[in-house]
A and B are shown apart, each in its own frame.
Chain A
Amino acid sequence: MFKGRSTVKKFFIYGFICTGLIISDYQFDQMQRFRGWLSVAVTPVQWLVDVPQRSWTWLDERLQVRDELIAENKQLRAQTLLAERRVQKLAALTVENFRLRDLLNSSEQLDEKVIVSELIGINSDPFVHQVIINNGFNSGAFTGQPVLDATGVMGQVIFTSAYTSRVLLITDADHAIPVEVNRNGLRSVAYGLGHYDYLELQDLSDTADIEVGDTLVSSGLGLRFPKGYPVAEVIEVQHFAGQNFAKVLAKPTAALGRSRHLLLIETPQQQSLAQQEVK
């Protein structure tokens, strides 16, 4: 019989195994590697779920009317032209910047390697702001790697399997990113609140020079995110009489809920850091 004592015994055995797994997953880093390979088992499900979206894009691309395509093409060409003009200017500026940094003996590198990645899944748990992308450790993604979209910092890779990785967004309640105010270099840390539209700066004194509309960029402290990428824009500054700290809310500049194409950034210092962690 399948009922009775054997069920109770089984219940306790499996309950015990689960508890052991949970504890070891919290405690030991080696579990990450193990998980990475186990996760390959659910990769097909993640791909399957993405099929409707992908086939829709595919159909859409094929069914678009010729005129529309021509118009879009023209528009894109114009955009490219504008962007190229800016890049030309930027190239000169970059060289100049290099020279100046050389003069200052600064070791900071400006060049970063970039992997273009595509979103294939979103975590369905509303408490966890994570997305899944189609690059795993087989194509160069590593834990701790910063992730951007076209308009700002999205988050960081927290877990890699062979073919996919999991990205923790900056708005997750467990995430914090070191930032500075672009206008005056005021440093702070932007904490996620578990809400897609807000980040909070908790440690700014009441007299700090920060205003609504200020752009927050990544400060590069903490060696995780590269310096100078836009993170958020300040949308609310509240002062409380008698309190030491102001309450500052900011809205992420990246389209956290919408972006489908993401960039994985690879800075030299980042890589060496990741390699150290592996050792």
Chain B
Amino acid sequence: MVMQRAHNLWVPFVTLLIAFMLSALPMLEWVQWGWPEWVLMVFLYWVIALPQRFGIGWAFVLGLLLDLLQGTHLGINALAMVVATFIVILMYRRLRMYRLWQQAFVICVLVVIYQCISYWLQGIGSNASSGLWFLLPAPISGVLWLWLFVVLRGIRRAFKVA
């Protein structure tokens, strides 16, 4: 397979930077509980759109940056990102065929997996607990995907990112 020439590859990185900023935004406590996983969602969009450019390696790097930003132990978010990305790479062809709401459902499940991994790994060394509320961002991320997908697709087409 011949690799396409890269075009406007800085665009995904700008969207990812915005996602990082959104995830670090100071927020009211009750909003924080449901705050969607911006970085994961934006990155998964680019994996689905350009799997030849964005794969597990980038997932690892972004996860590490998230760990540094959130002060979690190094590797926790990285592992969760790597797992989610791996699943998406296995099924990105099918995902492209899906309707938007079906995609949103898959994203919701992926966020659940992501949250479980990062929450449980964080839980090893701490004693915070409050039921299953940590899963709240999953359905919200799913709903948000309906909007985010359209926006990112618009951006990708406008800049002809390849």
Contact = CB atoms under 8 A, between A and B. Distances in A.
A7 B56 contact: yes
A61 B124 CA distance: 46
B24 A10 contact: no
B75 interface: yes
B134 interface: yes
Contacts of B52: 2
A121 B89 CA distance: 34
Interface string B32-53: 1101000000000000000110
B17 interface: yes
B73 interface: yes
Contacts of A46: 24, 69
Interface in A7-22: 7, 10-11, 14-15, 17-22
Contact of B73 (A15, A22, A38): A22
A45 B24 contact: yes
Interface in B57-97: 57, 59-60, 63-65, 68-76, 78-79, 82-83, 86, 89-90
B145 interface: no
A171 to B, nearest CB: 11
Contacts of A274: none
A42 B79 contact: no
A22 B78 CA distance: 10
B71 A45 contact: no
Contacts of A49: 21, 24-26
B162 to A, nearest CB: 15
Q: Is the interface of B mostly helix, strand, loop or mixed?
A: helix
B79 A11 contact: no
B60 A174 contact: no
Nearest to B93: A3
Most buried by B among A3, A45, A123, A124: A124
A125 to B, nearest CB: 6
B1 interface: yes
A196 interface: yes
Interface in A71-122: 121-122
B124 to A, nearest CB: 7
A15 B79 contact: yes
Contacts of A58: none
B46 to A, nearest CB: 14
B126 interface: yes
A121 B126 CA distance: 22
Nearest to A161: B68
Interface of B: 1, 17, 20-21, 23-27, 29, 32-33, 35, 51-52, 55-57, 59-60, 63-65, 68-76, 78-79, 82-83, 86, 89-90, 119, 121-122, 124-128, 130, 134
Given A25-B74, A38-B68, A124-B25, 5 more contacts: A11-B56, A17-B75, A26-B73, A38-B74, A125-B72
Interface of A: 1-3, 7, 10-11, 14-15, 17-22, 25-26, 31, 35, 38-39, 41-42, 45-46, 48-49, 53, 121-128, 130, 159, 166, 172-174, 194, 196, 257
